[in-house]
Chain A
Amino acid sequence: MKIFYFAWLRTKIGVPSETVDLPAEVKTVGALVDWLKTRSPKHAEALANSKVVKVAVNQEHVPYDHPIEPGDEVALFPPVTGG
């Protein structure tokens, strides 16, 4: 699965995207965020406060209980600040 990071999540984690092999038990956005925290201390720090970690699946905003499938495009980012 390809994961994109934006804004300070990108700079804290240090890469704009990465491809990961998800364990079978990771079936929701919330479980994915928890699993990503275990990948490195940078991931753990960047993702520590879930209130400021928003998620899009296939370019739609979704809540943490949203299901994920292996072919999904997933993006993690802080609350948006455009306009």
Chain B
Amino acid sequence: MAIRVQAEDFDVGAEYAALTRGRSSIGGVTLFSGLVRDMAGGAAVSAMTLEHYPGMTEKQLEAIEAEARRRWPLDDVLIIHRYGRLEPGDQIVLVATASAHRDAAFDSCRFLIDWLKTKAPFWKLEATPDGERWVEAKDSDDSAAARWDP
């Protein structure tokens, strides 16, 4: 298992290789990566700065991972989330789940990113031609997370 909250970029191929190396019980891996888009709400975005709450962020991500492992039979889970200043095309987040079978890998990966978006304490500040603006939480994110309510 691994939770990493970092400013540095990550290499999806290297992470995938590390996750699966020598682990022949794994039958499938689902990877989700989130990227910075160059448009949001009709405005051009030239940069995005991610703020987080050190300590609570890791604690919440660990709790989300524990919940995923309670619900699905997972061989491994990896969550990497970046903070700091990012530009369009940059990677923000990676969620990877490994299991014997694809259903557990797909469903748990979707669950992790949906819960992460509503529970992990990160905030996005976008730079646009009209100045900086804090991204507002979306109702659609709440409903996506609510699908996984017990």
Binding site for B on A (CB under 8 A): 4, 6-8, 56, 59-61, 75, 77-83
Contact = CB atoms under 8 A, between A and B. Distances in A.
Interface stretch (B7-15, B19-27, B49-57, B68-76): B49-57
B55 A59 contact: yes
The 7 closest A-B pairs by CB, nearest first: A82-B122, A79-B137, A7-B123, A59-B56, A83-B117, A81-B135, A8-B134
A42 to B, nearest CB: 16
Contacts, number: 73
Interface of B: 34, 50-53, 55-56, 59-60, 81, 92-93, 113, 116-125, 134-137, 141
Contact of A56 (B53, B125, B134, B135): B53
Tell me the interface secondary structure of chain B in the complex: mixed
A78 B137 contact: yes
Contacts of B136: 79, 81
Contacts of A78: 123, 134, 137
